Structure 1
Amino acid sequence: MEPRIVSTLCVLLVLCACARESYAAMTMAQVKQAMGMLRKSCQGKNDVTTEMVEGLQQGNFPDEKGLKCYTKCIMGMMQSLKKGRYVPDAAIAQAKMMLPDDIKGRVIASMDNCRNSGDGIEDLCEMAYAVTKCVYTSDPEAFFFP
């Protein structure tokens, strides 16, 4: 991962922790803005359009290799994909720190529900896509992916 991105994520996590301490949770608008850098980086590394990426929010999961690898890139940058495996506890920890209280529990429940959805899938892009799609299907109204 690029040092600049790591540094920015560290700053973001510190800000989230500070916001949590002052009982001022991030809004979804703030979360989306913060995730914009991840989107920009991963979108640039994969052959995906903005429409394809935004389609995930509406449950559009076409059989497109670039989009599948985009989900892998995002999950990797968020540290929820490590050594070829989905690490749901890392994803859940991030959700606890970043997401507003009104959807946090629902998103965490979806992540937990999809804990094993990538098991047995060798291709990392396919595995990340399967997990992302499972989280969407589990609770479409609470789904968020950068």
Structure 2
Amino acid sequence: MRILIFLSTFALIVIYYGSVECAEKLDVDGLRNMLKPMSNTCKRRTGVSNELIANTHNGEFPRVRPLMCYFKCLSMMLKTMDKDGITRLEDLQKATALLVREDIEPKMRKVATECFEEVPNKGDPCEYAIEFVECSYKKDKSVYFIPF
């Protein structure tokens, strides 16, 4: 689900800034590269350390506010989470279809759908964002595209 949140946000930013041509779809590395400017902005806004972000690539998702809110920030920048912390599966699926290469799109759609269904939104957007991202990582880390 977190992946979907990120993909949706990516899609909107790509459309807005025109950084990726409509016909060009991205693999995981391409998604990471596209996210780097947003990641840098969210790092500054939340104060999260590079180490905390890098450790998520090893499956470490400590519940510390800077990291939790970093994921929320990315989700909001990607427009996959609204200002009230709400995420919609349809938006995640559309972003995936728009941005992701056909060879990995089914994996990402599956992960997003499963995490969307499994991760409850308890009202704290930062908590929801990290739980969604962690769920996505656990489901299929081969499509984990958070920059580090």
What is the TM-score normalised by the length of structure 1?
0.80
Structure 2 CA distance for partners of 1:78 and 1:7, relative to 1, 3 Å: closer
Q: Which runs of 5+ in 1 are unaligned?
A: 1-5, 20-24
Aligned ranges 1:4-15 → 2 under 5 Å: 10-12=16-18, 15=20
Q: Post-superposition shift, 1:9?
A: 5.2
Q: Which residue of 2 aligns with 1:85?
A: 86
Which has the greater radius of gyration? 1
**Could you give the per-residue CA deviations for residues 61-108 of structure 1, whole angstroms, max 9, x where no partner exists?**
012111000000001111111232122221222122222222221111
Q: Give the Cα separation in 1 of the matches to 2:21 and 2:29.
A: 14
Instruction: Indicate if the aligned counterparts of 1:48 and 1:66 stay in contact, CA closer than 8 A.
Output: yes
Structure 2 CA distance for partners of 1:112 and 1:57, relative to 1, 3 Å: same
Q: Give the Cα separation in 2 of the matches to 1:140 and 1:67.
A: 18
Identity, % of aligned positions: 19
What is the TM-score normalised by the length of structure 2?
0.79
Q: 2:136 is matched by which residue type in structure 1?
A: V
Aligned residue-pair number: 135
Tell me the secondary structure at the aligned position of residue 122 of structure 2.
coil
Greater relative contact order: 1 or 2 (C-alpha under 8 angstroms, separation 6 or more)? 2
Q: Which residue of 2 aligns with 1:96?
A: 97
Q: How much is the aligned-residue C-alpha RMSD, in angstroms?
A: 2.1
Q: Post-superposition shift, 1:120?
A: 4.1
